[in-house]
Amino acid sequence: MCPDENFPMSKAVRSAYSRNEEDETLSPLVLIDRHKNPAGRIQSGDSVIFYNIRGEREIELTRSLTENTFREFPVDPNLVVNFATMIEYQKGLNVKVAFEPQGILSDTLSDVIAAHGLTQAKITEAEKAVHVGYFFNGKKSDLLPGEERIVIPTRKDVKLFDEAPEMSIADITQTAIARIKDPQCNFVVVNFPNVDVVGHIENESAVLRAIQAVDRHTGLLIDEALRQEITVVVTADHGTVEKWFYPDEGVDTGHTDSPVPFILLHPNNKLTLKALGSLTDVAPTVLDLYGLPVPPAMTGVSLIEQSKNSYTPVKRLLFLILDGWGLSESTKGNLITCAETPVMDKLLTSYPSAQLAASGVDVGLPPKTVGNSEAGHLHIGAGRIIYSDRLRINESIVTGDFYQNPVFKNAMKLADHNSSAVHLMGIVSFFSSHGSIEHLFALMDMARQQRGSRVFIHSMLGRRGEQTQSGACYIQQVEEKCQALQLGQVVSVIGRYWSMDREENWDRIEKTYRMLVYGEGNAVSGE
């Protein structure tokens, strides 16, 4: 725990902890001035910079603040702001984008399958729909010829999924079995999200139930696939709960840098796999199994040790992604080894398998950083390394290009011209795949260089990969930065549960909107 200095918002977060609140679901905190009025509300003419990256959890809040025709909940019809985002969250949003996308990928695994007239079905629940569709397909939203995307609704009757660790896995399995039985469906992709989603919650018994549910339903799908004489591949996008503890034995609810499994169930039992590889090797391996050409753009290599001329190409394949299922030799703090997993235990001992790197530079992320679902699914489908937006942004800060970014400069100049404010909004974290406190600090430094308008900071907290109660420490660091620069105030703090939804839980986004625009929340005195 960092020292408790006299910084109002970090003190307020610590007070919330004493009321048994936590970072992820923290109720909105709003700074008030000496007249008891909320400080730093977003008003017409202001500039807003949403500095988060990734994008899928940022769309709903962005829409509420920028769409003239927004109707999901009541908004101020007269609010018009200059809105900038760090990266492109979705095409068509009424925003300026500081770091434009590098373009969609071609020649992905799905592209090649479609180009050769094969059909494919991708099945998961809403929590992972964007990963199995958009990212797996190389950041393409539109369906390919012969492609079907089936999204099972995510349960709305629970607040967090430790209340229902099985999530909608039974519906996923039922839907997947129908596609496995359909001889016209050549490539069946199934993502079980439970281990990753529940693993972000500090509830060990719930995580064990999630692991066991995935293991059980993996067995159900494989049994049906083998009955239909379909080849099966089992893999994962990143690790999560196989390293449940920090070195100080505090619980780590974030992703990990562990490798993930790749298991092959093929009619030719003599096939063998290389022991080690990376997620970029998955697509070339699957294409080899189909007997399809591997595009030159794919720099990954097939994991199969035999020449593809030595075995008969498959016509149908079941591709299972056990989201968040990492591998660790240590049993200490390894919830996967603590759980009962007879199916995976048998698969790993009875069939050819490999360990795949799924973090850091192997998936286009900064060195020694943990993996994430976006990078994992992107690299599984792409078959090559795709450098992340985080790397691009970090490099631009090092070179100084960041501080000359025309989108940011224009947002700050417009605020100055309008005698209005600049609002910096986003996740406050070192480890989140959705953004970095370093990016916030760079924007604050840039605002100081511009010597322009007032700066207000709206912070989102979430304990994914963070120490317990780390949010207060981060908020204090931001307040200290404001003090050192003599610029800006942290005027609101909220848990990411309310601000970074992607399942159309509009009541959550409305709570965040009303905090930002009307100053609704638990009042925090700045005096």
Q: What pLDDT, on a 0 to 100 scale, did the predictor assign at position 103? A: 75
Q: What pLDDT, on a 0 to 100 scale, did the predictor assign at position 1? A: 45
> Both tokens of residue 404?
């000359």
Q: Which fold has domain 109-385?
A: Alkaline Phosphatase, subunit A (3.40.720)
Ranges of the chain whose pLDDT falls below 50: 1
Q: Which fold has domain 8-100+391-525?
A: 3.40.1450
pLDDT digit string, tens, across residues 126-163? 989 999 999 999 999 899 999 999 999 988 888 888 89
Query: Nearest Cα to 261, choosing from 173, 193, 352?
Result: 352
Residues 6 or more apart from 406 whose CB is under 8 A from it? none
Instruction: Give the strand order in the sheet containing 260-265.
Output: 147-152, 120-125, 187-192, 317-322, 231-235, 260-265, 353-357, 276-278
Q: What pLDDT, on a 0 to 100 scale, did the predictor assign at position 464? A: 62
Contact 367, 277 (CB under 8 A): no
Pairing label, strands 231-235, 353-357: unpaired
Q: What pLDDT, on a 0 to 100 scale, did the predictor assign at position 247? A: 75
| Residue in this structure with the two tokens 């189909």, named with its chain if needed | 290
3-state class (DSSP) for residue 318:
strand
Query: Nearest Cα to 470, choosing from 431, 523, 516, 525?
Result: 431
Structural domain spans, the chain: 8-100+391-525, 109-385
